[in-house]
Structure 1
């Protein structure tokens, strides 16, 4: 007996070309690797990329969690408020006075003081040697001393600060009050660090159902870090306004009378969100509260009619409930006291008549 064996796939594997499974969402995987008998490890290089969308299926690309959340950039550690070096104002006054006195002495030395000035100062006349190199050098030194002395005088006020810079580099912040001397070569930027209130204009918003609203908010804030508020952004007030607008676009605000949420809850959510967004730029936000919430002009008429219809339906429901309770109470009292004996037909007729009478009476009262 002759046994014929059919060729196995293993014997023909060397003659067949390797087939591949390939599409837009997977990498190239040889088919023979999916049916290997040996338990050896198989390493298939996979790209750690986002799975692409398949054409014709309508499937959206699936993003990893790390791709969906964009981390907030950390503030520059070098851009932090620090006190600047200033001197008392008396130093500047003394230096300026010395400069002016030096110029006067140099003029007397050169013989340029008029006779009236000499008589007023009771200084003996001096012929002088004229304006030479020594006199010009003395003029330059005394003039520079006077300019630096009087030019660096500044007056600090309560609730105001100066951000100092030199050649584009931050040099410190001055929060002192009174007369002081600041290097006149430094660029000064005045910043208001008092507690401030900002009432914005009507801004676009939406409720939980997506209905367009116009919201007026009151923001209580102050500048906490003058360096980041001045140098971290172009204009911290504009940045604050943009943060409030972005928060209103993300937090639903319910219109008054809707009954689906409170304005206080929306204010707390807005305060937390805006405070977190403005903290990296040195602005501290204490409160963001909606003052006036109204529907947008394009939907105001429709929402007004909807509100009136809802109030009318609520009124009708209240009236109907009151009428039913009155009819039930009347029929029950008449029956329990034995004033009337009613069968089912008569009871239904009495209930119908009482209902019509009570509804008519309530309608006349409402009118």
Structure 2
């Protein structure tokens, strides 16, 4: 007769690569703005013994730890950065994905799992502030565009004055220079087309 050990059980652990897509989590970014964020995690069991003995349900463990890491990572960065050199969730996808992958890997390593890839799949302001934040982004874009226009206009006026002086085309005193600068800036920075004006007198009458 065969004898069976009642205390022995055999559990199979798949080594195949798997994907886990988190739910849309609502968290506050570094600036305190409520955002929605979700990610996909590509992972694999690399140590079956650790996966079985360290946690009761290793798949559930991956889900919980991945979402926890995503929350932690999301609070470390602003949704968008007003400083061109600073990292943000929206504009630095590669760096953010690397950070997320490392954050998850640190949590899963003890359970014999390897994170192959992690990336953001959804990122948006929370509905209650989405419209206000869109208006702020549009205002920031307008300000940035106008700043570029003014900088370019000033450079063009400066170049025009230098050319007139170097070529001795016309002699301008300070008052006439000021008037010319004012007129050129209005033309270069204005949104509407300019209307020609015939000057029948002089600047002083």
TM-score by length of 2: 0.77
Q: Larger Cα Rg: Structure 1 or Structure 2?
A: 1
Asked if residue 255 in structure 1 is aligned to residue 79 in structure 2, the reply is yes
How far, CA to CA, are the matches of 1:210 and 1:265 in structure 2? 21
How many residue pairs end up in the alignment?
184
Deviation for aligned residue 1:273? 2.1
How far, CA to CA, are the matches of 1:254 and 1:241 in structure 2? 24
RCO comparison, higher one (Cα < 8 Å, 6+)? 2
Asked if residue 211 in structure 1 is aligned to residue 33 in structure 2, the reply is yes
How far, CA to CA, are the matches of 1:206 and 1:290 in structure 2? 16
- Cross-structure match for 1:286: 116
How far, CA to CA, are the matches of 1:254 and 1:268 in structure 2? 16
Deviation for aligned residue 1:188? 4.2
1:225 touches 1:283 (CA, 8 Å); kept in 2? yes
User: Using a 3 Å threshold, how does the CA distance of structure 1 residues 253 and 287 change in structure 2: closer, same or farther?
Assistant: farther
2:25 touches 2:71 (CA, 8 Å); kept in 1? no
Asked if residue 196 in structure 1 is aligned to residue 18 in structure 2, the reply is yes
Q: For structure 1, list consecutive stretches of 5 or more residues without a partner in the other structure.
A: 1-140, 149-165, 172-186
- Cross-structure match for 1:56: none
Q: For structure 2, list consecutive stretches of 5 or more residues without a partner in the other structure.
A: 194-205
Deviation for aligned residue 1:308? 0.6
1:216 touches 1:291 (CA, 8 Å); kept in 2? yes
Query: What is the alpha-carbon root mean square deviation over aligned residues?
Result: 2.5
1:229 touches 1:236 (CA, 8 Å); kept in 2? yes
Deviation for aligned residue 1:348? 0.8
Asked if residue 245 in structure 1 is aligned to residue 75 in structure 2, the reply is no
Q: How does 1:1-367 map onto structure 2 within 5 Å?
A: 167=6, 169=7, 187-251=9-73, 252-255=76-79, 259=84, 260-261=86-87, 262-360=92-190, 363-364=191-192
Deviation for aligned residue 1:332? 1.8
Deviation for aligned residue 1:211? 2.1
1:254 touches 1:263 (CA, 8 Å); kept in 2? no
1:323 touches 1:358 (CA, 8 Å); kept in 2? yes
Kindly report structure 1 stretches of 4+ aligned residues shifted beyond 4 Å: 256-259
